[in-house]
Amino acid sequence: MLDREEYVEQAYFFRTFGERMRQDLMAQDLLLMLKQEVLATTKLPLALDFLASELRLNGVFAPAMAKLAHYFSPFQTFVVTEAERERGRFDFYIALEILEREARYRAEGASRQGAFLYQFECLCRNRLGYDQGLEAMARDPIYDEDWSEWILTVRRQVGIVEIADMIYVRSDHYVQQRRRAGLDLAGPEKPVLFGEKEGKIAIANRQREPLLLFAAMERHLGYPTVPRPKPVDEAKQLLPNLLRRVDRLEARVKLLEEEQKGGIDLSKFFGPQSEGGLPGTK
């Protein structure tokens, strides 16, 4: 895990980079500008310098972030890789917003439970690959050995077992229920990863949409919310579309007027003619 100031500067970088990219500024220039803005006492200026040099060679960010595995987490690299995929539909601006919120959450003191639910919801909501995504999550330094082992178990069982059930059986609420029933008095066989509240919310959302489970966790436990794609504002394109339609109507009206006056002169639609009379040649 990095120091808190590193995550604060990362959150500022991801947010500012996305905002200025919408202003049609070149990514290489933005990296050099942001290098001068972030704190020089952090390692982020060195990372941005390396990203800018690799961007000139490859034109993408993900390979450079993979080489900086000691600074950028595997999940961060995975999100950028999916956003830069040529045939993918994952918006790069949404990826930057995901990384911004995750870095801000880490700066505020992220818990392993909140980090897992946030990252897993990112995979679900944006339809990213579970296999590679969960493998990247398991290598995240925020998780200890028990968490990494369980995430790899989720990777094997996702789509077969509900995520609510997998959370419930590894929660403290499940342990308390077993003890009240006179079972597992000696203690749970596997480490408890979630608290009692997470277990109650999970059991209440069995056989329901997983996104409802994540929304309940966010409401009751204050876990970060995953950014959603914003709907396109069609009002901005309304006036240009109307102008184009008016131009087409005017052109059709002129053709109808010419036809009523005696016919349409087709010669004006031809290019300059050559000596042999062939149109389109000089």
CA distance 188 to 179: 10
CA distance 113 to 115: 6
Given this model, what pLDDT does residue 276 score? 56
CA distance 221 to 114: 9
What are the distances in angstroms from CA 215 to CA 67, 91, 104, 220?
35, 22, 19, 9
Q: Do the domain assignments include residue 52?
A: yes
CA distance 227 to 121: 10
Given this model, what pLDDT does residue 86 score? 82
CA distance 232 to 235: 9
pLDDT in tens, the chain (282 residues): 899 999 999 999 999 999 998 887 888 889 989 999 999 999 999 999 999 998 888 888 999 999 999 999 999 999 999 999 888 788 899 999 999 999 999 999 989 999 999 999 999 999 888 999 999 999 999 999 999 999 999 999 998 999 999 999 999 999 998 888 887 666 778 899 999 999 999 999 988 888 999 999 999 999 999 998 776 666 667 778 888 888 888 888 887 777 777 766 666 666 665 555 555 544
Write down which residue in 109, 131, 164 finishes a domain.
109
Q: Identify the bridge partners of residue 279 per DSSP, sorted by sequence position.
A: 273
Q: Do the domain assignments include residue 245?
A: no
Given this model, what pLDDT does residue 260 score? 77
Given this model, what pLDDT does residue 36 score? 92
What are the distances in angstroms from CA 239 to CA 133, 178, 187?
42, 64, 68
CA 92 to chain centre: 7
Nearest to 6 by CA among 44, 46, 52: 44
Q: 144 with 212, same domain?
A: yes
Q: 127 with 23, same domain?
A: no
Given this model, what pLDDT does residue 43 score? 94
Given this model, what pLDDT does residue 282 score? 45
Write down which residue in 229, 247, 267 finishes a domain.
229
For residue 218, the enclosing domain spans 111-229
Given this model, what pLDDT does residue 132 score? 93
Q: 104 with 194, same domain?
A: no
Structure tokens at 244: 């184009």
Task: Indicate the number of domains in the chain.
Answer: 2
Q: Do the domain assignments include residue 216?
A: yes
> Which three-class secondary structure state does DSSP give residue 86?
coil
Given this model, what pLDDT does residue 235 score? 66
Q: 102 with 59, same domain?
A: yes
Given this model, what pLDDT does residue 263 score? 67
Q: 117 with 155, same domain?
A: yes
CB-count burial class (<10 Å; 0-12, 13-18, 19+) for 114: buried
